[in-house]
Amino acid sequence: MVSERISSRVRSMPPSGIRRFFDIAATMENVISLSVGEPDFITPQHIRDAGHRSIETSTAYTSNSGLLELREAIAAHLFRLYGVRYDPRTEILITAGVSEGLQSIALGLFDPGDEVIMTDPGYVAYSGCIMLSGARPVGVPTYEANAFQITATDIEAAITEKPALLCWATQVTRPVR
């Protein structure tokens, strides 16, 4: 049986809530689904043209960290916005999306049994990334009255005797460094 070939780790995962939401939204008219990060517009022509030009000049793999030129541009952007310096060679990594980046972080940093504190609600795929690493997500509720921001007191209340890590999987509005 095929399901016997699937790891117990994967079998223990709950079904993806985001996929269920995506399927429901697809059956409705006049709904803009932001469930998988898709905008309600076609990618602008100049961006599509740049993609085509890129394909015509190179189809080679990049560094596992992403193009150095892009990492340098991001470092400069972060310095302009926040006045913080990051080394584009060692401190910036390009991923295809947040879920891929978080999964890489989870597998690299979390051990089975670790507890990872994260905001709740949050994007449903993020807790799955944590669970696949063997760690356990610990949700900290957010409230509209507090602009959906967690406080140090909220975090402190979620810490147990187990090692705790903080996964800030929400929009960053200022440097976390």
Phi, psi of 157 (to 5 degrees): -65, -25
Residue with tokens 């060679």: 89
* Angle (nearest 5°) at CA 99 between 94 and 100: 45
pTM of the entire predicted model: 0.67
For the chain, domain boundaries: 1-60, 64-94, 97-171
Average pLDDT over the chain, rounded to an integer: 83
Question: Around Cβ 158, how many Cβ atoms within 10 Å?
Answer: 19
Confidence of residue 74 (pLDDT cuts 50, 70, 90): very high
Question: What are 14-60's pLDDT values in tens digits?
Answer: 777 777 777 888 888 887 766 666 677 899 999 999 999 989 998 88
* Whether pLDDT at 80 is above 90: yes
Query: What share of the chain in percent tops pLDDT 90?
Result: 25
Spatial contact of 117 and 138, defined as CB atoms under 8 Å apart:
yes
What's the rounded mean pLDDT across residues 71-92? Answer: 96
Spatial contact of 154 and 147, defined as CB atoms under 8 Å apart:
no
**8-state DSSP, 148:** T
What's the rounded mean pLDDT across residues 56-74? Answer: 91
* Angle (nearest 5°) at CA 97 between 8 and 167: 65
| Tokens coding 40 | 């309600």
pLDDT score, position 2: 59
Confidence of residue 145 (pLDDT cuts 50, 70, 90): confident
pLDDT score, position 172: 35
pLDDT score, position 34: 64
Q: Which CATH class is domain 97-171?
A: alpha beta
